Structures are given as structure tokens and as C-alpha cells.
Structure 1
Amino acid sequence: MKQKDCVFCKIIKKQIPSTPVFEDDDLIVINDRAPKAPIHMLIIPKVHIKNLDEVAPENVEILVKILLRAQKLAAENNIKGAYKIVTNVGEMAGQTVMHMHFHMLGGWNSKEEVTT
């Protein structure tokens, strides 16, 4: 997939409408359009990186920013200590958008509700 065809790049460039939960110079956070948990957000770096296999040394800082943003989002959404961070790497693992992003899932009322 070419970067110009990337749905997340189009969201970042405001070519596709979205309602960000959070946005700064490096990240955008949106709610998943097909949530798998009561709270299901996507934390997306603005730099186009296909997936974790493509992270270069100069991109490592963005991974730290993603995880620190997840901590803040967990606190803001009252799910601190009870959430998952997931990223799929490649089509075989379920990656459908070839722009690295992290799923933040939480908000369950019991362990039985937790999905994988």
C-alpha cells in the first residue's frame, strides 16, 4: 500500500473526517469504529511506519510517546491498571491498515468480559 492510499494518513491530513480523542504534533488518538471492548481507542503515530518490523532507530522515541499517552488515556478513562495495548504486525496477525497503530482496550466490568 502506498502512503497516499493509507486511511490513517488521510485521517491525519484531515482528508477523512474524524473526531480525535487526542492529538498533538506526533500522535492522533481516535475511537475504533468497530470496538472490541467498552473502551477501544487507536493510538496512531503521525509518521507513516508500516508496523513494528519497520521501526528504525530514529523512530524509537515515538514508541515511548505512544506508551506514555496510553498511561494518560487510561487514567482519563478510569481504566488504569485494567487495559490492554495491542499492535498487529502483518496481515497474518490481523493487521488490516498498514500504518502502525496500537489498540487500547479496556472498560470491562468483569474478567469474563475480557477479549483477547
Structure 2
Amino acid sequence: MSDCIFCQIIEKHIPASVVYEDDEMLCFKDINPAAPVHLLLIPKVHFDSLAHAQAKHEALLGRMMFKVPQIAQANGLNNGFKTQINTGKGGGQEVFHLHIHIMGRPA
């Protein structure tokens, strides 16, 4: 088993409040929310950060970005939302598995 906490969530070794899942990605509630709605969308394939994305990840990243507004709306963010991708320690990244923060206040 990987020591990556997000990989452990994907493998169901650690519980999470999942709001969306398909074959390629998983979205769950952040356990330390910075907004009333704070979700994390992660790919099921592990790579550390956006800086570590390769050409083979291009289509997956596009599908993830396309899914963000759908997930946001399904979680009450009908008047807008903020996305954030922290990359590397200097960019504020704390968990080194690519993830997209989806944050906002329900309408």
C-alpha cells in the first residue's frame, strides 16, 4: 500500500465523504474546509503535482476540468465557485498527489 493518503482514500483504506466517483477520478469533502463547500477532486492514477503531469495525462486533466463545474453545481455552488491547484511546496501543496480544490458558498 502506498503511503500517499489520497491513494489510500482511492483504495478505500481511509474513509472519506465521497461526492463523486468514476473510473478515473474521485471527489470528496476536505476534512479541513476553507469554505462552506470545499471539495478535493483527485485522479485515481498517482502523480505528485501538475508539474509532474505528462502527455499521457492530458486527456484525464481535460476530463477533470470539464467535471469540476458539474460537481460544483451538484454540491450547491450554483452562483459560482473557486478552483485552486497548489503545485509544489512553494505553491502551498501539502499532499503530493495532484488535486483540484473546488470551493464556494452555496446560494
Q: Could you tell me the TM-score, scaled by structure 2's length?
A: 0.92
Aligned partner of 2:81 in structure 1 is: 83
- 2:60 equivalent in structure 1: 62
> Which residue pairs with 1:99 in the alignment?
97
Percentage identity across aligned positions?
A: 36
Report what 1:15 is aligned to. Answer: 13
Of 25, 28, 46, which residue of structure 1 is paired with 2:26? 28
Report Cα offsets for 1:5-34 as digits up to 9, x if no partner.
Answer: 100000001111223111111000000001
Aligned-pair distance for 1:78? 3.3
Tell me the amino acid that sits aligned with residue 37 of structure 2: I
User: Does structure 2 retain, via aligned residues, the 8 Å contact 1:37–1:108?
Assistant: no
Distance 1:6 1:94, change over 3 A: same
Look at both structures and tell me which one has the larger radius of gyration over its CA atoms: 1
Change (3 A) 1:32 1:14: same
> How far 1:108 sits from its partner (Å)?
6.2
How many Å separate the matches in 2 of 1:45 and 1:17? Answer: 17
Contact 1:32 1:41 in 2 (8 A): yes
Aligned residue for 1:21, secondary structure, equals strand
- The one-letter code sitting in structure 2 at the alignment partner of 1:73 is I
Choose from 33, 48, 51 the match for 2:49.
51
| Structure 2 stretches lacking a partner, 5+ long | none
- Alpha carbon RMSD of aligned pairs, Å? 1.6
- Confirm or deny: 8 A CA contact 1:71 1:80 kept in the other structure: no
CA distance in 2, matches of 1:62, 1:13: 19
